[in-house]
Amino acid sequence: MADPAIGVHGLVKRFGPVVALDGIDLAVQAGTVLGLLGPNGAGKTTAVRILTTILPPDAGQASVLGLDVVRNAQDVRAAIGLAGQYAAVDENLTGRENLRLIGQLTHQPRRAIAPRAEELLDRFGMATAAGRPVRTYSGGMRRRLDLAAALVHRPPVLFLDEPTTGLDPNGRSDLWTLIGELVADGTTVLLTTQYLEEADRLADRIVVVDRGRIIAEGTAIQLKASLGSTVVEIRVADPADARRAAARLQPFASTDVLDGRRTLAVKVPDQGPAVQEVIRLLDADAIVTESLAIREPTLDDVFLELTGHRASPGPGVNHGSTS
Amino acid sequence: MTALTDAVAVAKRNIIGMIRRPQLLGFVTIQPVLFVLMFRYVFGGSIRIPGVSYTNYLMAGIFVTTVLFGAQNTAIGMAEDLHHGLLERFRSLVMARSAVLAGRVLADAVRNLFVIVLMLGVGYLVGFRLHTSLAALVAATGMLLLFGFAMSWVTALLGLAAKSAEAAAAAALPLTVLLTFPSSAFLLTGSLPGPLRAYADHQPLTATVNTVRPLLLGGPTASYAAAAVIWCLGIVAVFAPLSVLRYRRTALGRARHRP
């Protein structure tokens, strides 16, 4: 196998008493997308910061295109683009001025700077907004500009740190399309996300991180197969019924009694016969359901399965907020 | 070479940012104009300076304090860049590491030159007249830019250390007041009580004002000029390395808060 485009070995980073990364290994082959999936505080952003030369690691080694991120930091910077959840563009500059500034600061040939900015503005559907200061942009437009800014110098390796966190479904879907096009062009991408759906949609391989450690990895299909691809959520009137149902279904599928003790999450391998079997088993025990819903597994399900604790505090997946 | 072009690119961006935010531009232009009008027409009648009209006396103080007030923008701008994540993007680019701070200080020099010219115009409107030569005016401008350069490093450090842009502005204010009022900018320090007078006579703003004033109105400058230049270079020698150090550390420390 060829040298990976991004290689990480035994990466450790501490902030005082907090261990942000506790020995991470990664290998991303050129032209592929790796999804780093995990909740807030898992160490995803710290890993991206080290790989983009912003932070030095405490131990371990990281390289991009064979270049060490500490010893060859300047060469690494020339080869990478970074776009993040914080949409680091200048509010007071226009979209066009932002892209030209990045063109200058990445030392592009003087004559190529303006045309490259226009090309990206066109491609990202921002031509009409290009002359307005960024502070007038919507969240989705800022994110697109942020991504465009990361591409000004045509980097072969791209780091996307939670590219759609906080965006509405339209903005998210727009950005997914753009990222998909970049990948089709052969860019190597390392993407961090809190959304299983996003990793599933964009990434060739997924690495699940929690508290600075890798807890699972594989393709989306492999992960789903090991976790159950479908979750049946059953709500009953009486907590005693929930316990009874859990006992009844346990030999057949993995179950968790959720908050309030009246809801069961049952992981099954498919949406057809397996669901029918769940219903048949409940019926046989005369357990009456208040509601029954079938859904895709969320990051919460993945975490509950892999770690026994929830990805985010409180019920359900904490969409959006990061701090 | 690229360090210089990078700094110029960042400076250009800072200047555009200043022009596009009327509240910041207003702060550096309207405030000194108000100062000119207040001191000229409100206090001017009750302040007697032997041998010189108060308007002529006042303007040296106005020039120096204008430059000082402008330096507050540096604190606000640095804090904003830091907290909006822009510094982080800059760190992932091939651009020269020095360009962020150098570009900030360079933009400040351009802003200072602009407000000096503006205040010269305002001064002429209220009766100020240059009593020396063009060469002396250029020397005075040079002194003002050096003082502004020194102050930029102090406020850059404040901006990098502050938790927000508002906190940065709040931190810069006492510095501004403590340098502006107990000084020779608008008064003769002889009228101040003992300890305050000792402080006023031996602080950098007084030294700068006392250098600029004779360059505009005539009289000996040499002893004050030496003190002013030593003050400014001393401040740069202390605060420039501290700012650079803080700049390097800040981005690293921030990871703690944004895992």
Higher local confidence (pLDDT), A292 or A227: A292
Residue A313: pLDDT over 50: no
* Interface predicted TM-score (ipTM): 0.85
Tell me which chain B residue has its CA closest to the CA of residue A97.
Answer: B13
Contacts of B6 in chain A (CB under 8 A): 104-105
pLDDT, one tens digit per residue, over A51-65 is 999 999 999 999 999
Distance of CA A8 to the CA centre of its chain: 18
Contacts of B86 in chain A (CB under 8 A): 88-90
Q: Tell me, yes or no, if A58 comes closer than 8 A to chain B by beta carbon.
A: no
| Distance set, CA B16 to CA A121, A152, B25, B57, B251 (Å) | 20, 21, 11, 34, 24
Task: Kindly report the nearest CA distance between residue B248 and chain A, in angstroms.
Answer: 10
Tell me which chain A residue has its CA closest to the CA of residue B89.
Answer: A88
Residue B194: pLDDT over 70: yes
Interface mutation target, options B73, B87, B94, chain A, most CBs of A under 10 Å: B94
Length of chain B: 259
**B9 and A49: CB-CB below 8 Å?**
no
CA-nearest of A135, A307, A306 to B20 is A135
Size of interface A-B (CB pairs under 8 A): 88
Interface mutation target, options B21, B23, B93, chain A, most CBs of A under 10 Å: B93
pLDDT, mean of residues A86-101: 90
pLDDT, one tens digit per residue, over A102-134 is 999 999 999 999 999 999 999 999 999 999 999
Q: Report the predicted TM-score, pTM, of the whole model to 2 decimal places.
A: 0.83
**B5 and A88: CB-CB below 8 Å?**
no
Q: Where are the alpha helices (DSSP H) in A85-152?
A: 95-105, 110-123, 139-151
**A84 and B256: CB-CB below 8 Å?**
no
Mean pLDDT in chain B? 88
Contacts of B90 in chain A (CB under 8 A): 105
CB nearest to B255's CB, from A55, A87, A88: A55
Contact B115/B211 with Cβ under 8 angstroms? no
**B88 and A77: CB-CB below 8 Å?**
no
Identify the pLDDT of residue A320: 36
| Residue whose token pair is 């060829």 | A2
pLDDT, one tens digit per residue, over A249-280 is 887 777 777 766 788 888 887 788 888 888 88
CA-nearest of A7, A9, A8, A319 to A164 is A319
Structure tokens at B118: 């503006």
Residue B256: pLDDT over 50: no
B134 pLDDT band (50/70/90 cuts)? very high
Tell me which chain B residue has its CA closest to the CA of residue A99.
Answer: B13
Residue A314: pLDDT over 50: no
Tell me which chain A residue has its CA closest to the CA of residue B249.
Answer: A55
Identify the pLDDT of residue A122: 93
Q: Tell me, yes or no, if A46 comes closer than 8 A to chain B by beta carbon.
A: yes
Tell me which chain A residue has its CA closest to the CA of residue B22.
Answer: A92
Higher local confidence (pLDDT), A300 or A87: A300
| Distance set, CA B110 to CA B10, B117, B253 (Å) | 13, 11, 32
Identify the pLDDT of residue A316: 36
**A40 and B259: CB-CB below 8 Å?**
yes
A323 pLDDT band (50/70/90 cuts)? very low
pLDDT, mean of residues A288-306: 78
Q: Tell me, yes or no, if A169 comes closer than 8 A to chain B by beta carbon.
A: no
Contact A69/A190 with Cβ under 8 angstroms? no
Q: Residue A189: beta bridge partners?
A: A33, A158
Higher local confidence (pLDDT), A212 or A166: A212
CA-nearest of A194, A195, A107, A197 to A152 is A107
CB nearest to B16's CB, from A82, A86, A92: A92
pLDDT, one tens digit per residue, over B71-113 is 888 898 888 888 888 888 898 999 988 899 999 999 999 999 9
pLDDT, one tens digit per residue, over A12-54 is 999 889 899 999 999 999 999 999 998 888 899 999 999 999 9
Identify the pLDDT of residue B103: 94
CA-nearest of A148, A190, A144 to A49 is A190
CATH classification (class only), A6-218: alpha beta
pLDDT, mean of residues B151-167: 91
Interface mutation target, options B2, B83, B92, B249, chain A, most CBs of A under 10 Å: B92
Q: Where are the domains of chain B?
A: 2-256
Looking at the domain that runs over A230-295, which CATH code has it been given?
3.30.70.120
Q: Tell me, yes or no, if A108 comes closer than 8 A to chain B by beta carbon.
A: no
CA dist., res. B201 & res. B39, Å (int): 21
Between the ranges A154-163, A222-231, B48-57, where is the mean pLDDT highest?
A: A154-163
pLDDT, one tens digit per residue, over B19-31 is 888 777 777 788 8
Contact B16/A93 with Cβ under 8 angstroms? yes
CA-nearest of B34, B147, B15 to B73 is B15
**B86 and A84: CB-CB below 8 Å?**
no
Q: Where are the domains of chain A?
A: 6-218, 230-295
Identify the pLDDT of residue A315: 35
Contact A191/A36 with Cβ under 8 angstroms? yes
Residue A217: pLDDT over 80: yes
